[in-house]
Structure 1
Amino acid sequence: MKAVDWEEASVLFERAPLGKQKRDSEQLRRAFEASYAAVIVYDSDRLIGMCRALCDGEYQAAIYDMVILPEYQGKGIGKGMLDRLCDKLPVENIILYSAPGREGFYMKCGFKKMRTAMAKLNKFMSDPKAGYF
């Protein structure tokens, strides 16, 4: 596996739909390295997409940080990333956060909206203008 340039990853997060919050490159590295599984996609040497999942290995998993450069969206790459990540998870119950307005993509990939999801979120995501509530 190619070594990730975490500064380049930070820029990817800025340019993708999650880009309203700057991501620190060192925090990104630690988060991805601590995850159960991750998918990282390149076009030649250019980092174009990444996603990760946490999992207890028995019952539940959660997908976080699914990002792809805007110019690569709509080409099936995101669905392939999500499928590959889900294939790495040994559980049937998988939840995820969606950036506001992106729920349709996940629904096309087989995910459904939940009625009972609850969250305690950071200041940015708790702001009604962010679109999560």
Structure 2
Amino acid sequence: MTFRDTLEGIGIDQLSGNFFEGWPNSPSTPTFLKLLEQSYAVELAVDEDTGNMVGFIQAISDGVLSAYIPLLEVLPEYQGKGIGTELVERMFNRLSDLYMIDLLCDDELQGFYEKKGMQKASGMVIRHYQNQVGVVNS
């Protein structure tokens, strides 16, 4: 497994697999690539044998005070191997100069993030599930 902090060498062909398992409206592969490209920071896990990306974490940020981590995904067949932990640690290290790093997750995932030093907090959200496939503006 290789970990990297750039999309260099990653194209649509390296994004195969079901990263959005359980989503009723998964983003298309071009939309997936676009969301990675437009992130403030990405950390990627790439299978050295196939050259395919098998996990990623992304952050959006103002680069001054705050960052938000919308997605951490590892392909199901690669889960339980420490890849998610490595991606989180790498991202937290990259964002360590910022005042706040926030994310929202399902209740069953809170323990994972608590082990990484995060604290539970409450928040509010709006979800337009019909837009879950994403919007790609040229």
**TM-score relative to the length of structure 2:** 0.74
In structure 2, the gaps of 5 or more residues are: 1-5, 131-138
Give the fraction of aligned pairs with identical amino acids, expressed as a percent.
28
- Distance in 1 of aligned mates of 2:47 and 2:79: 13
Corresponding residue of 1:131: none
Q: Is the 2:20–2:73 Cα contact (8 Å) retained in structure 1?
A: no
CA deviation string 1:6-61 (max 9, x = no partner): 3553633134xx64431211221221111110011112123210110001111110
In the TM superposition, structure 1's runs of 4+ consecutive aligned residues that sit over 4 Å from their partners are none
Corresponding residue of 1:35: 39
- Distance in 2 of aligned mates of 1:39 and 1:12: 18
- Distance in 1 of aligned mates of 2:93 and 2:20: 27
Higher RCO, Cα 8 Å, sep 6+: 2
Equivalent pairs, count? 122
Rate the CA distance shift 1:98–1:10 in 2: closer, same or farther, 3 A.
farther
Cα deviation for residue 106 of structure 1 reads 1.3
Q: CA RMSD in A?
A: 2.4
> Could you say which structure has the higher helix fraction?
1
